[in-house]
Amino acid sequence: MEYIINLPEIDKNELKLVVPNFFGKTKLYLNNVEVAKINNRYSINNGQDKPVVITLKNNYFDPIPTISVNDNLIQVAKPIKWYEYIWMGLPILLVLQGGLLGALIGLFALRLNISIFRNDKSAFFKYLTTLGVSLTFVIVFLAIAILLNGLISN
């Protein structure tokens, strides 16, 4: 996922935030050149020999970080609402029945659901797709649990 960040401090330069869909590190690009991270901060020149300090702060499960530019917060994407988190997090309930296996599968499904909610499709598509993902991972959990139960009992 790519997000263009419009900052008046950098004039007509293009600042882009690239967030991986699943695994990987978030990267920052200035005019299509990756900006080096030094001491958990990015420093870019604004074209007038004044540094612009950018910090990316983790948003827990949300893959899109909060961006601080010279200590001013910038909202890159619309925040995920509380009821969307509940909907996306339903697979976490597998932990109640499946312990560690349920937690791992539930967290994997949650991460996939969040990446689905972060795309630009319609709300109907997002809810329907995440429902399908959640049900699929419940079935995967049940299949693995039955398989492990059969292996242990033999």
pTM of the model: 0.74
- pLDDT tens profile 50-77: 788 888 888 777 888 888 888 788 888 8
For position 127, what pLDDT does the model report? 95
- Which residues, in sequence order, are bridge partners of residue 16? 4, 29
- The answer to whether residues 35 and 42 touch, using CB atoms and an 8 Å cutoff, is yes
Average pLDDT score, the chain? 85
Token output for 34: 């990756």
For position 134, what pLDDT does the model report? 93
Picking from 19, 13, 24, the residue whose alpha carbon sits closest to that of residue 46 is 13
For position 47, what pLDDT does the model report? 67
For 63, the 3-state DSSP assignment is: strand
- Which residues, in sequence order, are bridge partners of residue 44? 52
- pLDDT tens profile 99-149: 888 888 988 898 899 889 888 889 999 999 999 999 999 999 999 989 988
Q: What are the residues whose beta carbons fall under 8 Å from the beta carbon of 43, sequence distance 6 or more? A: 51, 52, 53, 54
For position 128, what pLDDT does the model report? 95
Q: What's the longest Cα–Cα distance across the chain? A: 73
- pLDDT tens profile 8-50: 777 777 888 888 877 778 888 988 888 888 888 888 877 677 7
